Amino acid sequence: MRTVGVVAAVLTLVPLAGARAASELPYVPRNNPGRVQSVVDDFRTRLGMPHEVTVAVVPTNVLLASVEAIPDRKGAFLLSFEDGFLDDLDDQDLGAVVAHELGHVWIFTHHPYLQTERLANQIAMRLVSRDSLRRIYGKVWEHRGTKGDLTRFMGE
């Protein structure tokens, strides 16, 4: 499989009208692929992306989250999350990561030779805030025990 992108992005979720209190909702583990798939499907629609993006939660992903083309399914992509990382993400963080990864899919399907983290973040900011993207980079670096340069990934 060809890797299309790497991690980063965040959104501010707006409560749905008529939503039930959290205490009334059934427990859904944070690393539930269905939780991620619903965000992916919503964001794909909002970006006008017809491409199929399927979610997988895996024991290990060096990038923590990544998206890649599925070779035998034209126009289909696989978004993989490391379960330990996914379990640490709240809804805002999850939105940031998904938006960033879908930014890579958008770039790949429109301008495949222009893959950059900065451009993926520009696409992601159609869905989530700049601050949410900054926050998720911090979580990625904390999870990996490294530090990166936000200016390189986000611009000034």
pLDDT for the residue 20: 35
Long-range contacts at 105-108 (CB < 8 A, ≥ 24 apart) = 105/4, 105/5, 105/49, 105/51, 105/53, 105/67, 105/77, 106/47, 106/49, 107/5, 108/4, 108/5, 108/69
pLDDT score for 9: 32
Q: Which residues pair with 68 in a beta bridge?
A: 3, 78
Among residues 59, 67, 55, 63, the alpha carbon closest in space to that of 124 is found at 67
Q: What pLDDT, on a 0 to 100 scale, did the predictor assign at position 112?
A: 77
Looking at per-residue pLDDT, the higher value among 49 and 153 belongs to 49
The structural domains of the chain, ordered by start, are 2-12+28-147 (3.30.2010.10)
Q: What is the pLDDT of residue 145?
A: 87
66 phi, psi to nearest 5 deg: -155, 160
Q: How high is the pLDDT of residue 31? A: 58
Sign of CA dihedral 116, 132, 137, 57: negative
pLDDT higher than threshold 70 for residue 2: no
Quick: pLDDT tens for 4-55.
443 333 222 222 233 333 344 333 445 577 889 999 999 999 999 999 999 9
* Per-residue pLDDT reduced to its tens digit, 47-100: 999 999 999 999 999 999 999 999 999 999 999 999 899 888 999 999 999 999
Name the more confident of 129 and 26: 129
Nearest to 66 by CA among 51, 56, 52: 56
Higher confidence at residue 72 or residue 2?
72
Distance CA(114)–CA(54), nearest Å, equals 23
- What is the spatial order of strands in the sheet that 52-58 belongs to? 2-5, 65-69, 76-82, 52-58
For residue 55, what pLDDT is reported?
A: 93
